Structure 1
Amino acid sequence: MKLLSRQSRALPGVTGVARVSRRSAALLDRVGHKDIVVIDQVDLDRATADALVKAGVTGVVNASESISGRFPNLGPEILVASGVLLVDGVGDAVFGKVKDGAKIRVDAGAVYVGDELIAQGTEQTAESIADLMIEAKTGMSAQLEAFAANAIEYMKRERTLLLDGVGIPEVSTSIEGRQVLLVAASADTKKQLKALKKYIADFRPVLVGVDGGADALRAAGHTPALIIGNPEHIDSETLRCGAEVVIPAHTDGHAPGLERLQDLGVGAVTFPATGTSEDLALLLADGRGATTIVTVGLHTTLVDLLDKGRGSTAASTFLVRMRVANKVVESPVVASLYKARVSWWVVMLLVLAAAAAIVTALMVADVGGVYADLIRQWWNQLVEWVRGLFA
């Protein structure tokens, strides 16, 4: 009897290594080619989708709905257009059944580990996403109405904080009269920090990490001076790096994550106020006298805020941005303005002039081994200097 080939016996669907996390931002640094991402994100945003496509994932399994209908988010459309399999609504139980690093198979909305069916959802297609996007466009007006109502409510609740800075905590980190680099976690944070390398080296701004942005700073080789956010979202080693920690707290004084800091033996200052960690970080930097606030990874437009599932807090972010607008600069602007502008022909002239001086010295002097070593040392220093111009 003729044996079936391995290809003919292959199971249908897509197979890959599972990368599992409820927070999609926590996965972006460790996903790879042909991985299948298991997340829980309502209204999958464009930035996350772009990062997953760039990483080369073969599938995305979402415990929630990738398009809820609140507004027309672009993430699902980007994934499907790039050939990435997208399965929605498999339910929260999937996180208890799939371990990170396990091999899984996804076929027709079903998720398998080996031969066992562990979850069932809806496989999205270009046609189904187009239909959902049409429906979602009608939800945008409701989001704008909610935004206006939230803005009025926030202004009533936090007007003394927003207008007069009442309630901003005292911190030991020196901010008065200095520039601040405020870093939040996003798909572009790593790239933006790399582009700001020379700016950070030359201006020595106060490095402030917001939630996962503190981990991003350490991963880029920097040590944050100030960390603002929920400690539950930050790595233990980052919390122990020596930075001053500020924890957003509810207006009743309860500070989520404070217990974890106490277990780590790390002190903290609480900031009782409503709003996101990013909002409070901006208010603190402004209230403590920062001259300029360069932001990395923050979400600034209304569409960005909605796209990150933060419609309920979009109003506070919008009003805070108005409060500090005269000091805030986006990192791409700083990176584009701060590029070294050294023409290549100027560098070549300097190199040739240095070489000519060395040759002349050799011709007119009887140099021994010691002088030859000294000349070689000068030459090596010149080469390193030229390399530094383009680092």
Structure 2
Amino acid sequence: MRLPLARAIRGVGRPGRKTKKLIPLLRRGDIAIIDHPDIDIVCANALIDRRVAAVVNCAVSLTGRYPAAGPGAILAAGIPIFDSAGPELMESIAPDTMIEIREDGGIYEGGRRIAVARPFTHALLEEALARARANISVEMEAFVRNTLDYLSEEWPLLFDEHALPELRTRIHGRDVLIVVRGEGYREDLQAILPYVRDKRPVLVGVDGGADALLEMRLRPDIILGDMDSVSDEALRCGAEVIVHGYPRPLASAEPEDEAAQAPGLVRTRKLGVPASVLRALGTSEDVAMILMERKGARLIVLVGSHFSLQDFLDKGRKGMSSTFLSRLKVGSILVDAKGVSRLYHRGWRILDIVWLLVGAVTLTLVILSVSDSARAFIDLLAVRLQLWLRHL
């Protein structure tokens, strides 16, 4: 593993306040400039896949609040991290500007120092992880209390029968595959591709999950979410688009602004993509499950889901009441495929190799028995072999 501070690092600095929006713009050798406290593993893996030269974080990469796995993964991939650069860096650097990061963490543009960051070393990583492990019980207690508090407000998610958008895709009686771009989504989706090809389920991408489907050369039938992380290409792929909106407010004297209650509409309208709005409590992932259940899905298969404490802390959520309730509602038809790629990897067995050789020999014998030209070719080889042996 290379040392992160062995030399000055030069590259094009690409700033982005939202890491998931910045990632598609990154190229190999770029310096990613983010503002991301407690870097989560999904964003970390995406930065690694982009093969950036370094990561500059305006925030603290690992605060010690909980053991976020992202910083460790980035360092393990040999990509140096410089953090605590301050929010001013986002304003002081223009996109596509060549910058240099020196050994002491100084960040330079054209020979002028524009910021100073802290080299985030393995020693700092271990120190922060130790604090995080000591604090996880505090986070767990706060998380559970928040979940219980919001259960009393979000329980209508189980019974609310408000009107649903009309879909041109038939759902009733069919399998549905819902893809969320959570940890391990790519490997799990790859693992169940035989199921997808055989059963041909309805394909639902939750925000960036639509791009995950397209990566596998699968066109989503439906895209649902607040449209903050799905690409323009995915939105234009021909799928039905459903914008997740906030629940309708109580009676108000002010006229309702539909786009204010469903911010994703601004983007779909700008792209000229027709979209319907579904107002509901919970995350887009929860809403997708509830929608498919109410539309009569026979089975719901979920890839890349968020359900662990780590998942929710990575997402910045303080509770999981809506997820708990939505899984209660659809539990009898839900198959969570998270981690299925780690379940079983079958390698070549000796018996497989034996059967392969037997098949090859059998096929050769069959060809020789029915083909005159093949027999003539073998006879010619035999004659040449005899002549060669006589000259030895």
Q: Which category of TM-score, normalised to the shorter sequence, fits these structures?
A: 0.7 to 0.9
Aligned residue identity for 1:110: G
Say if 2:271 is the partner of 1:264. yes
Distance 1:262 1:19 in 2: 27
**Superposition pairs for residues 231-242 of structure 1, below 5 Å?**
231-242=227-238
**Superposition pairs for residues 30-69 of structure 1, below 5 Å?**
34-53=29-48, 56-69=51-64
| TM-score where L is the length of structure 2 | 0.77
Cα gap change, 1:141 to 1:97, in 2 (>3 Å) = same
Q: Percent identity?
A: 33
Aligned residue identity for 2:239: A
C-alpha deviation, 1:302, in angstroms:
1.0
C-alpha deviation, 1:184, in angstroms:
1.8
Say if 2:337 is the partner of 1:330. yes
C-alpha deviation, 1:106, in angstroms:
1.6
Q: Deviations over 1:322-341 (max 9, x none)?
A: 44344122154279679899
C-alpha deviation, 1:243, in angstroms:
1.1
1:362 to 365, 371, 374: 371
Structure 2 spans left out of the alignment, 5+ residues: 1-5, 249-257, 374-392
Tell me what 2:384 maps to.
Answer: none
1:75 to 67, 70, 83: 70
Q: Deviations over 1:115-158 (max 9, x none)?
A: 12223333323333333333334443332233223323332222
Secondary structure, counterpart of 1:300 in structure 2: coil
Alpha-carbon contact 1:167-1:271 (below 8 Å) kept:
no
Distance 1:233 1:358 in 2: 57
C-alpha deviation, 1:223, in angstroms:
0.9
Tell me what 1:8 maps to.
Answer: none
Q: Deviations over 1:296-316 (max 9, x none)?
A: 22222112221x232324343
C-alpha deviation, 1:248, in angstroms:
1.1
Cα gap change, 1:231 to 1:330, in 2 (>3 Å) = same
Alpha-carbon contact 1:189-1:297 (below 8 Å) kept:
yes
Tell me what 1:198 maps to.
Answer: 194
C-alpha deviation, 1:218, in angstroms:
1.9
Alpha-carbon contact 2:185-2:338 (below 8 Å) kept:
no
Tell me what 2:207 maps to.
Answer: 211
Secondary structure, counterpart of 2:326 in structure 1: helix
Alpha-carbon contact 1:176-1:291 (below 8 Å) kept:
yes
C-alpha deviation, 1:210, in angstroms:
0.8
Secondary structure, counterpart of 2:212 in structure 1: helix
Tell me what 2:87 maps to.
Answer: 92
Task: Report the count of equivalent residues.
Answer: 353
C-alpha deviation, 1:208, in angstroms:
0.6
Distance 1:262 1:318 in 2: 33
Cα gap change, 1:205 to 1:337, in 2 (>3 Å) = farther
Q: Deviations over 1:65-115 (max 9, x none)?
A: 212332222322343455532222323343344455443212323322221
Cα gap change, 1:159 to 1:319, in 2 (>3 Å) = closer
| TM-score where L is the length of structure 1 | 0.77
1:136 to 132, 152, 155: 132
Aligned residue identity for 1:274: L
Distance 1:294 1:337 in 2: 18
Secondary structure, counterpart of 2:282 in structure 1: coil
2:289 to 247, 272, 282: 282
